[in-house]
């Protein structure tokens, strides 16, 4: 029998074995335990925290329906979670399709919840009905108490299976008392990375949820410390307070923020906005409390209305002469705005499902906001004048920047060589393997150019400290040679024109000296990337090189070390004689090309720190405070944190 015939016979045998017995049907919650990532995104810390939001969202849905005004979250000493709400309490009557109490069904059946059809909730944050059952499936234990109609009910579960069927544990409870208390302990077999909750992650989202649901009180308590901590969030003004929170420490054009609320065809729209004297714009949009990072139709509706209303008012008041029209970017300079809508049937699109696609959301947001904003401008002419004036100044700067921008288009290698930035490009044209080192000073730049791998590594030396972009308009930024050559080298465009797909390098490595000046330049560069090239950070393209501080030599033994602590450890392992020679590197310029390559640039040996953006809202507050024009908040920050500084290079 030939090889071909043997192979055909083997295939036929395998094919006949592939029958119904090999088709695995995952029943109920087994599917969740098998593929948890499908239901909670991942089994990392993010997925662990997602469990809390699934239960909290149920309480918030009760608040949106008008039955709940308080939610309490407790992190227990063993990292289990208790969530209590004073909503109606999960129904306990028999669910006719399953023949089991509704309470049991909610925690054991996927896609069972009051969020389908028109019965339970008009608007809801979670729309898949998977919340409670998924949390149950991924916990070693879960127990739930429900108080409703004068009785308290209890049941508990073990790895998603019923342990104690539903029973009445208390009768004669006041009719005024109602609500649900859920306690669960995440399963370490599922969450192998960590089962420890981060209190900051929980607190930030709880603060955000209380901003987005005015009047709702949410508390968070951490019982893991010796002294338990408890925080309470309760904002009667809702997102108006969110805008104040985002603008803390900044100079504002008017106070309090504008707040608009209305309903159109079942869609509730809330908008709050305030202008600052700065150049940045912060726009945060939400749908049913979900942060729509990628924007969508509600964002488009808001932007369109804002631009149209300001232009209309400017013409009517005579501030805008002739055919002058302010663009969207002009009217959004210095704007901080939060747009929050509640939609009965949201359709999300985009890669991360954080972009709203409903066309009626655009119409509703535009209609409600433009009507009320136009009225506000008519009633407050002084404030309106300031807003139009700010847009006009931005427009002048934009025209100046447009001229400068033309220079930053990367067209050819020849053109680049004439740039003031002295870019030494790499020979590979594959961005995946290309790295751009931004090096402080010409001397270090020279060593880096000699020592680099020409195929993959490009070098851009920058002289001195670049412009602080937090304090400058676009015209000044683009007039700066160092920044312009950086924009050009990257090839991505910047700000609103930024396109990550055009990036010439997928690694952008900041390589500065390990001293105060180096740290300052690094901060100025990070401010620039955060403000004008944020996707470089969010996609994980920005790195910080970690050059060594010391070289230790003893005979033929040579070792580079990055910290004083590591130096001590190395010295402890060496013989006292001959005496080890310690060289302290004050700057990269002190290293020759070979040393720089083997310590800081060689992909096999170097240490790089990747720059991540964990908390966008926190970053939005920190950058203006540390890098902006107001001295007071910065002084306070330095006074509070000075005591934590170690090894200050004086």
Q: Which residues are known binding-site members for Mg(2+)?
A: 440, 513, 515
Total number of residues shown for the chain: 650
Distances (CA, A) of 63 to 32, 135, 212, 338, 621: 28, 21, 12, 20, 29
CA torsion sign, 367 to 370 to 374 to 376? Answer: positive
499 is catalytic: no
Specify whether the CB–CB gap between 511 and 440 falls below 8 A. Answer: yes
Q: Is 517 a catalytic residue?
A: yes
Interatomic CA distance for residues 179 and 63, integer angstroms: 11
Neighbours of 181 (CB within 10 A): 18
- Find the DSSP H helices in 418-557: 442-451, 474-479, 481-490, 516-532, 534-538
Distance CA 435, CA 429 (A): 11
- Catalytic one of 204, 221, 329, 517: 517
Residue 549 and residue 562 in contact, taking contact as beta carbons nearer than 8 Å: yes
Query: For residue 88, what are its two tokens?
Result: 């109606």
For residues 465 and 392, is the Cβ–Cβ distance under 8 A?
A: no
Q: Which helix (H) or strand (E) holds 145?
A: strand 139-148
Q: Which of 69, 264, 515, 566 is catalytic?
A: 515
365/378 Cα distance (integer angstroms): 20
From the annotation, which residues make up the binding site? 440, 513, 515
**Phi, psi dihedral angles at 470 (to 5 degrees):** -70, -25
Indicate the burial class of 100 (C-beta count within 10 angstroms; 0-12, 13-18, 19 or more).
middle
Identify which of 454, 458, 479 has the alpha carbon closest to the alpha carbon of residue 467: 479
Which position among 440, 470, 482, 620 bears the catalytic label? Answer: 440
Q: Annotated catalytic, 565? A: no
* Measured distance CA(492)–CA(14) in Å, rounded: 52
> Does residue 612 have an active-site annotation?
no
Measured between alpha carbons, how far is 245 from 418 in angstroms, rounded to an integer?
46
Instruction: Classify 99 as helix, strand or coil.
Output: coil
Helices of type H across 406-480: 413-417, 442-451, 474-479
Cβ neighbours around 473 below 10 Å, total: 18
- Contact at 8 Å (CB) between 508 and 543? yes
**Phi then psi dihedrals of residue 510, to 5 deg:** -85, 120
Alpha-carbon distance of 588 to 314, in angstroms, equals: 54
Sort 555 into a burial class: Cβ within 10 Å, 0-12 / 13-18 / 19+.
exposed
3-state helix, strand, coil in the chain (%, to 5): 40, 20, 35
Tell me the C-alpha distance between 130 and 133, whole Å: 6
Do the bridges between strand 267-275 and strand 258-264 make them parallel or antiparallel, or are there none, so unpaired? antiparallel
Sheet strands (E) in 160-313 = 161-171, 179-186, 217-222, 229-234, 258-264, 267-275, 282-287, 290-291
Q: DSSP label at 597? A: I
Residue position matching structure tokens 């631009």? 307
Beta strands in 5-91 (DSSP E): 70-75, 81-85
As annotated, the active-site residues are 440, 513, 515, 517
């Amino acid at each position: 029998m030939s090889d071909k015939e043997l192979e055909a016979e083997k295939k036929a045998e395998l094919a006949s074995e592939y029958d119904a017995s090999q088709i695995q049907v995952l029943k109920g919650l087994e599917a969740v335990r098998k593929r948890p990532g499908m239901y909670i995104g991942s089994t990392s810390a993010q997925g662990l925290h997602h469990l809390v939001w699934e239960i909290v969202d149920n309480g918030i849905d009760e608040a949106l329906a008008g039955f709940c005004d308080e939610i309490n979250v407790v992190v227990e000493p063993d990292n289990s979670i208790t969530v209590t709400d004073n909503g109606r309490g999960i129904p306990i009557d028999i669910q006719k399709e399953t023949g089991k109490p509704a309470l049991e069904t909610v925690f054991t059946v996927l896609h069972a919840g009051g969020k389908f059809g028109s019965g339970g909730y008009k608007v809801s944050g979670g729309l898949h009905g998977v919340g409670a059952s998924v949390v149950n499936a991924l916990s070693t234990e879960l127990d739930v108490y429900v108080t409703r109609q004068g009785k308290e009910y209890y049941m508990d579960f073990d790895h998603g299976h019923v342990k104690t069927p539903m029973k009445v544990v208390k009768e004669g409870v006041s009719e005024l008392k109602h609500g649900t208390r859920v306690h669960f302990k995440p399963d370490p077999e599922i969450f192998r990375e960590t089962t420890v909750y981060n209190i900051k992650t929980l607190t930030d989202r709880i603060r955000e949820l209380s901003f987005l649901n005015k009047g709702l009180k949410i508390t968070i308590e951490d019982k893991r410390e010796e002294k338990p901590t408890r925080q309470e969030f309760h904002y009667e003004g809702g997102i108006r307070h969110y805008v104040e929170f985002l603008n803390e420490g900044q100079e504002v054009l008017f106070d309090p923020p504008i707040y608009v609320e209305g309903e159109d065809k079942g869609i509730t729209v809330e908008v709050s906005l305030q202008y600052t004297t700065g150049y940045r714009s912060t726009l945060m949009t939400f749908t049913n409390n979900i942060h729509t990072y990628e924007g969508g139709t509600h964002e488009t509706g808001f932007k369109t209305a804002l631009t149209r209303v300001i232009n209309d008012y400017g013409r009517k008041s005579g501030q805008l002469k002739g055919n002058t029209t302010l663009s969207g970017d002009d009217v959004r300079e210095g704007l901080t705005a939060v747009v929050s809508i509640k939609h009965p049937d949201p359709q999300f699109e985009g890669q991360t499902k954080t972009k709203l696609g409903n066309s009626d959301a655009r119409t509703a947001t535009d209609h409600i906001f433009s009507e009320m904003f136009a009225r506000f401008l008519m009633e407050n002419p002084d404030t309106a004048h300031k807003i139009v004036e700010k847009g006009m100044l931005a427009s002048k700067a934009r025209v100046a920047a447009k001229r400068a921008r033309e220079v930053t288009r990367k067209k050819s290698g020849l053109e680049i060589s004439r740039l003031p930035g002295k870019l030494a490009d790499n020979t590979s044209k594959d961005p995946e393997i290309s790295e751009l080192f931004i090096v402080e000073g010409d001397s270090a730049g020279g060593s880096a150019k000699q020592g680099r791998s020409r195929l993959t590594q490009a070098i851009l030396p920058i002289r001195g400290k670049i412009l602080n972009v937090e304090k400058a308009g676009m015209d000044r930024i683009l007039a700066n040679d160092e920044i312009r050559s950086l924009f050009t080298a990257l090839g991505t465009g910047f700000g609103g024109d930024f396109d990550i797909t055009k990036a010439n390098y997928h690694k952008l490595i900041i390589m500065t000296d390990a001293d105060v000046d180096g740290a300052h330049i690094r901060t100025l560069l990070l401010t620039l990337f955060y403000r004008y090239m944020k996707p470089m950070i969010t996609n994980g393209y920005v790195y910080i090189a970690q050059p060594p501080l010391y070289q230790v030599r003893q005979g033929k033994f040579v070792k580079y070390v990055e910290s004083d602590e590591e130096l001590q450890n190395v010295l402890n392992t060496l013989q006292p004689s001959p005496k080890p020679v310690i060289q302290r590197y004050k700057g990269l310029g002190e290293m020759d090309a070979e040393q720089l390559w083997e310590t800081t640039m060689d992909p096999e040996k170097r240490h790089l720190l990747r720059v991540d953006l964990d908390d966008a809202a926190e970053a939005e507050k920190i950058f203006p405070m540390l890098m902006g024009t107001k001295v007071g908040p910065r002084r306070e920050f330095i006074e509070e944190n000075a005591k934590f500084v170690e090894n200050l290079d004086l």
